[in-house]
Chains A and B, each alone.
Chain A
Amino acid sequence: MRTIALGLAAVLTLSGAAPARSPVDDHASALAALADVRAAVAEIVRIEDGYAVGHGAYLRAAHRAMNALVGRRDDGYAKSFGDPGDGVGTLGHLDLMLDKAGTSLWTPAVQGAKANVLAAAEDLQSALAQKEMEEYQADLTRALASLALVVGRPSQSGVLGGLSGALANTSLGVPLGALSASGCAAPVRAPAYGVVAGRLAYVALPRSAASAGIPDDLSVARVVVQGDMVVLYTHAARDAAALCRSASRLQRTRSVVASPSQISYTVAQARAGAAVYRRYCLQCHGADLQGTAGPSVAGADFVATAQRNSWSLSDLRTTVFENMPFSNPGSLTPKQYAGVMAFLLASNCYPSGAKPFPPTASPSFAKVKLAAVPRAKPANAKLGTCPVK
Chain B
Amino acid sequence: MSRIALGLIVLTGLVAAVLVGGSPQVGAQGAWPTSDSYVNADKDAASWLLPARNYSGNRYLSETEITPANVGTLKKAWSANVDARGPLETSPIVWNGTMYVTSSHNDVYALDAKTGAVKWHFPYKPHVIAFSANRGVALSDGKVYEGTLDGHLIALDATSGKPVWNVVAAHDLTNTFYTMQPVVYKNMVLLGASNGDWGGIGYISAFDAATGKRLWDWNTIPGPGEAGHDSWSGDSWKRGGGAIWSGIAIDPATNTLYADTGNPQPDFLGTIRKGANLYTNAMVALDIGGSKPALKWYRQFIPHDTHDWDPAMPPVLFTGTVNGAPRNLVAAGDKGGNFWVLDAGTGALVYRLAVSTQKGQNTEPNRKGNIACPNTNGGVEFNGGSYMPETNAFYVPSVDQCGIWKSQGTATYVAGQFYLGGSFPALYGPSTGYVNAVDIGTGKFMWRKHLAFPQIGGALSMSPGLVFTGGVNGDFTAYDAKTGNVLWHYATGMTIQAPPGSYVIDGKRYVVVAAGPAGVNFADPRLNKGAPTLEGSYKHPTSATITAFTLP
Contacts and interface: CB of A to CB of B under 8 A. Distances in A.
A381 B121 CA distance: 28
Given A23-B219, A311-B414, A322-B408, A4 B14 contact: yes
B238 A2 contact: no
B128 interface: yes
Contact of B423 (A182, A292, A301, A330): A330
Contacts of A10: 12-13, 16
A23 B310 CA distance: 23
A180 B167 contact: yes
Contacts of B423: 322-323, 329-330
Main SS of chain B's interface residues? loop
Given A6-B13, A309-B416, A330-B406, A100 B238 contact: yes
Contacts, number: 214
A291 B128 contact: yes
A295 B414 contact: no
A34 B6 contact: yes
Given A7-B11, A218-B11, A330-B426, A295 B130 contact: yes
Contacts of B219: 21-23
Contacts of B417: 309, 311, 315, 319
A2 B16 CA distance: 16
B253 to A, nearest CB: 24
Interface stretch (B206-214, B300-308, B336-344, B463-471): B206-214
Contact of B6 (A21, A31, A191): A31
B499 interface: no
Contacts of B540: 283
Interface string B112-147: 000000000000000111111100000000000000
Contacts of A322: 408, 423
A242 B239 CA distance: 31
Interface stretch (A74-82, A133-141, A167-175, A261-269): A167-175
B18 A2 contact: no
Nearest to A167: B8
Nearest to A292: B85
Contact of A39 (B1, B13, B224, B425): B1
Interface residues of A, number: 80
A310 interface: yes
Nearest to B104: A293
A10 B212 CA distance: 21
Q: Which of A19, A182, A216 has the most CB of B within 10 A?
A: A216
A99 B224 contact: yes
A74 B216 CA distance: 30
Q: Which of B8, B237, B416 has the most CB of A within 10 A?
A: B8
Interface in B502-541: 517-520, 523, 540
Interface in B371-428: 406, 408, 414-418, 420, 423-427
Given A34-B6, A182-B168, A218-B7, 18 more contacts: A1-B5, A6-B16, A23-B203, A35-B4, A99-B224, A100-B238, A175-B16, A176-B214, A179-B165, A191-B15, A216-B5, A293-B517, A295-B129, A295-B130, A301-B127, A315-B414, A319-B418, A328-B427
Interface of A: 1-2, 4-8, 10-12, 19-24, 27, 31, 34-35, 38-39, 42, 84, 99-102, 167-168, 173, 175-182, 189-191, 195, 203, 205-206, 209, 212, 214-218, 283-284, 286, 291-296, 301, 304-305, 308-311, 315, 318-319, 322-323, 326-331
Interface of B: 1, 3-19, 85-87, 104, 127-133, 165-168, 171-172, 174, 200-201, 203, 211-215, 217-219, 221-226, 237-240, 292-293, 406, 408, 414-418, 420, 423-427, 517-520, 523, 540
